[in-house]
Amino acid sequence: MIKCSIYQDDCEKFLQKYTDTPFDVSFLDPPFNQNKKYNSYQDNLPEETYWKWMTDICRLVFQRTSAGGSIYFMQREKNVHHVIHALENSGWNFKNLIVWKKKTSAVPVRNGFGKHYQIIVFATKGKRPKIFNKLRINPPLLVTEKYERPDGMFVTDVWDDIRELTSGYFAGQEPLRLENGKRLHEQQSPVDLLTRIILSSSKPNDMVFDPFAGSGTTLVVAKQLNRNSIGIEIDPLYTKYVSQRIKNIKSSDDISKLREKYKHTKELDKIWG
């Protein structure tokens, strides 16, 4: 039976004492150290302290990951060198730098080009992943095309088909909201993003791990793909809402609508679970 668990805890302390089922794929989307306001976390650590902490987390996850297991570490584009350094210094083998190109307007920058993407570093425990499902997607038709490609196309390291969760009216129903209607978590990841990550690097009944669970998207997707999952979240309010979100999956979290997107993937029924 699939088990999806959310724990209110400090992820480093949790990992230090964890001795249960090894992780098969982990997703890290930590606070970015941008001095943002969190209820239970100080987001303005000295840079050296912050990246030592990230390296320590990566090392603990590595130690508790099965041979050939995978990790996906999401961060700001300016920190890509720090992310790769943290992963490689903790034992991980770098595989890909994924560019998640946002579908909405670029964020203005005063003395540079507008920011239009986020990076995700994919790495494995060992040189070869034990699981890597080569997904094929049905890309949007170009202006010059009349018909879709009969076999779709392989997913590359540029992900420009996944919409982020914006604010206001265009945010839709997916973001978690408080009783007053405000967003619970401003950086909530879309189910589309975690569906791709979990489908790519795991099989049904595997163990998915998220040390910075936030709004719980990783667990919600893992449950629907018949993967076990563990999420750690230090904020008790987030933990409460994530627990409810896992138990009562709403229509906006339903990933069955994404299945059509991957219809050209070989053995999709087996991968999907």
SS (H, E, C) 56-114: HHHHHHHHCEEEEEEEEEEECHHHHHHHHHHHHHCCCEEEEEEEEECCCCCECCCCCCC
Half-sphere exposure at residue 259, Cβ-oriented, CA atoms within 13 angstroms? 13
Residue 273, in any domain of the structure? no
Residue 272, in any domain of the structure? no
CB-count exposure of residue 154 (10 Å: 0-12, 13-18, 19+): exposed
Amino acid identity at 109: V
Residue 270, in any domain of the structure? no
Residue 37, in any domain of the structure? yes
pLDDT tens for the chain, 273 residues long, are 899 999 999 999 999 999 999 999 999 999 987 656 666 667 678 899 999 999 999 999 999 999 999 999 999 999 999 999 999 999 999 999 999 998 776 677 777 887 888 999 999 999 999 999 999 998 765 555 656 677 889 999 999 999 887 654 444 455 566 665 565 656 679 999 999 999 999 999 999 999 999 999 999 999 999 999 999 999 999 999 899 999 999 998 999 999 999 999 999 999 999
Domain extent, residue 116, equals 4-265
Number of domains in the chain: 1
d(C-alpha 31, C-alpha 38), whole Å:
9
Residue 53, in any domain of the structure? yes
CB-count exposure of residue 161 (10 Å: 0-12, 13-18, 19+): middle
Query: What CATH number does the domain containing 257 carry?
Result: 3.40.50.150
Phi-psi region of 50 (alpha: psi -120 to 50; beta: other; left: phi over 0): alpha
Predicted confidence at residue 63, as pLDDT, reads 99
Residues in contact with 247: Cβ distance below 8 Å, sequence separation at least 6, in sequence order = none
Contact between 161 and 137 (Cβ < 8 Å): yes
Predicted confidence at residue 36, as pLDDT, reads 67
Phi-psi region of 4 (alpha: psi -120 to 50; beta: other; left: phi over 0): beta
Contact between 204 and 159 (Cβ < 8 Å): no
Predicted confidence at residue 225, as pLDDT, reads 99
Residue 215, in any domain of the structure? yes
